[in-house]
Amino acid sequence: MRVPFDVEKLIELLPHRKRIEKCGEVYLVGGTVRDFLLGKDPRDFDLVVKGRASDFLKKLNLHRGKLVELSKEEDEYRLVLSKDLWLDIAGMKGETLKDDLKNRDFTVNSLAVPLGNGSYVIDYTGGLRDIEEKKIRAIRKRNLREDPLRLLRAFRFMSELAFEIDEKTLKWISSLKKEISRPKAERIRYELLLLFSGKRLSESLWKMDEVSLLTELIPELLPLRNTCQKYYEEQNLLYHTLKCVENLDHLVRGEMENPLREFEKYYGDFIADDKKRALFLLGALFHDIGKPDTLTRDADGRTHFHGHDRRGEVITRNILERLRFSKAERTLVGQVVRLHMYPHLLAREGEKVTDRALFRYLRKTGELAFPLILFAYADALASPSDGRGVLGHVVFARRLAQFIEKKKERAAKKRLVTGDDLIALGLKPGPVFRVILEEMEELQAIGRVTDRQEALQVLREVVKKHLSSRAPSGS
C-alpha cells in the first residue's frame, strides 16, 4: 500500500543519496522511517536493496568510511561514515519488498520509502496507523518465534518510544517466553541497555513481569516472587524491587517530588550520562536479589537478611557476566548492589553522623555517593513505613554536602605530609605508605590536623601504631 507522505526531507538527509540511487532498487526502511515520522532526525539509516547487499556495495564503491560485516549469512553490512553516522545495508529477504517487510518484527518497523521514485511511504502491515495510535504490534507470531530477541525488543520499544504493546502481541510473548533463552547474550545485553535507557522503563518492567518474561530472562529474580520481607508489614520482594525501580526511574527523570533536588549539583552529571543512568537503574533491579539466600526470622516472625548486599553483588556479577556485560559495567552495577544499604545506615545517624564517617563514605562510594542517597530514598518509599519517614536521608545528604564543601576548602591546601616524610622516619617505600598517607589524608579532611607541624607530630604516632601492628608476636 502506497501512502502519499512528505518524506522528501528524510531522503535528502541520506548521505551520498544520489550515488546510492544509481546503484539499483533501494529503500529506506525500519527504524529510520519510524523515527522520522515521529519527528526525529535519524543518525543511522537502514537500507534494503534488491539483490545482494555485497553486490550493491561493490557498485557503490564508496571509499569513505569503514565497512563492517554484520552477518555474511544474512547479507547485512554497516558502513560507518563517522562516530555518529552510519548506513546499515541489507539484501532484500524474500522475493519482493512485501515479503521483506512482512518478515519484520513489528508493524511500526515495517515501513519503507523508495529512493528515486516519488515521495510516499509503503505500508503493508498498518504501521502508519500504529505509529499514530502509539502501538507496538507484532506482525505475526511466527516472526517472534523465528527471532525470540523480538520478545524483549517489544518492551525495549515500549520503554524507548512510550508506546503500548497490543494485547494479542502480549499473549504471543507470554506463550513464547521460554524461547528467550535462545538469542546470543550480547544481543540481550544490547536490548537491556536500551530498555533501561528508555523513558518508560518502569512501566515496561511491570508489563514484562505480567507476562513472566522478566523472570524467564533473569531466573535469579524468580525467588524474589516467592519471598516476602516482614518488618512492619509483609511485602513481596519482587513487588518491592519493581516499585523501587519505578520510584528511582521517576526521580531521575524529575517526574515525582524529590526533596533531594537541592543536591542535584552533586549527582546531576552522573544521572545525565545515559549509560551510567541505565546501569544505575539496572542495579536497582538487582539490589535485593541476595535476600532469598540470606533470609532468617526472629522470634516475632520478622525477617532479617544479614549480608544480602554482599551476596547480591555476587549473584549480580554472575548474571552480568553471563549476559556479556563488560568488566566496567559489572563493576558499576555490582557497586550499587553492594553499597545500597550504606546511605540507609548513615541516614539513621542524622545530625550525629561524624566527619570521619562521611569521609569514609565518600572514599568507598566515589561518584555514587549522592546517586546512592537518591536510590536509598526510592528504596525507602518502596518499603512499608517504619514511622521514621525519609527525613534522615535528606539530613544525611545535607551533612554530606556541607562536608564536601569543607573538604574542597581544605583540599585547596597542599597535602601536609608526603612519602618523603615517611622515608625520613626510616620507613622503606611499600604498601604501608598508601595506608598511612590515606589515614593522614582522612585526619586532614576531618580537621584533626591543620598545619604541617601538627601533621608531623601526628604522623609519628600513626607510623608507630602501624609498625607495632606489624611486629611479629612471640615470647
Q: Are residues 330 and 381 located together in one domain of the fold?
A: yes
Calculate mean pLDDT across residues 68-85.
89
- In this structure, the answer to whether residues 18 and 98 fall within a common structural domain is yes
245: in domain = no
Owning domain of residue 200: 134-217
Whether 198 and 280 share a structural domain: no
The mean per-residue pLDDT over the stretch 102-121 comes to 91
Is residue 307 included in any domain, yes or no? yes
Angle at 164 between CA 162 and CA 170, to 5 degrees: 135
> What grid cell was written down for 78?
554497516
Residues 403 and 448 placed together within one structural domain of the fold: no
With a CB cutoff of 8 Å and minimum separation 6, the contacts of 193 are 275, 278, 279
Domain boundary among 113, 131, 149: 131
Res 183: pLDDT: 96
Output the pLDDT for position 191: 97
Alpha carbon 108 to its chain's center: 25
With a cut of 80, say whether residue 171 has pLDDT above it.
yes
Query: In this structure, what CATH number is given to the domain that contains residue 74?
Result: 3.30.460.10
Q: Are residues 207 and 89 in the same domain?
A: no
**What value does the mean pLDDT take over residues 27-45?**
91
Residue 297 lies in a domain: yes
The yes-or-no verdict on residue 15 having pLDDT over 60 is: yes
Instruction: Summarize the confidence of residues 272-276 as an average pLDDT.
Output: 97
Give SS3 for 453. helix
pLDDT score recorded for residue 389: 62
* Closest by CA position to 101, among listed 91, 92, 89: 92
> Is residue 380 one of the residues assigned to a domain?
yes
Mean pLDDT of 239-252: 96
Q: Which of 129, 148, 138, 133 has the alpha carbon at shortest distance from 106?
A: 138
User: What mean pLDDT is reported for the chain?
Assistant: 90
For residue 225, being part of any structural domain is answered with no
pLDDT surpassing 80 at residue 392 = yes
Mean pLDDT of 62-75: 85
Residue 474 has pLDDT above 60, yes or no: no
> 102 with 207, same domain?
no
Same domain? 401 vs 309: yes
Are residue 257 and residue 339 in the same domain, yes or no? Answer: yes
422 or 273, higher pLDDT: 273
Give the three cell numbers for residue 462.
Answer: 600513626
Domain membership of residue 265 (yes or no) is yes
Q: Is 235 left (phi over 0), alpha (psi -120 to 50) or beta?
A: beta
Integer CA distances (angstroms), 12 to 42, 108, 109, 372, in order: 12, 22, 21, 46
* Residue 386: band (very low, low, confident or very high) from pLDDT cuts 50, 70, 90: low
- 278 found inside a domain: yes
Identify whether residues 404 and 455 lie together within a single domain: no
Q: Which helix (H) or strand (E) holds 80?
A: strand 76-82
Where does a domain end: 131, 149, 181? Answer: 131
- pLDDT mean over 332-344: 97
pLDDT, average across residues 154-167: 98
Task: Give, for 297, the enclosing helix (H) or strand (E).
Answer: strand 296-297
Mean pLDDT of 53-61: 89
How many domains in the chain?
Answer: 4
In a domain, 236, yes or no: no
With beta carbons less than 8 A apart as the criterion, state whether 411 and 440 touch: no
Are 288 and 320 contained in the same domain? yes
Element of type H or E holding 281: helix 274-286
> Of 187 and 383, which is predicted with more confidence?
187
Report the pLDDT value the prediction gives residue 419, as an integer from 0 to 100: 85
Q: What is the pTM of this model?
A: 0.85
One domain for residues 9 and 126: yes
What CATH number is associated with residue 189? 1.10.110.30
- From 131, 158, 192, give the residue that closes a domain: 131
Instruction: Specify whether 165 is located in the same domain as 46.
Output: no
Residue 475 pLDDT: 38
Q: What is the percentage of the chain residues whose pLDDT exceeds 90? A: 65
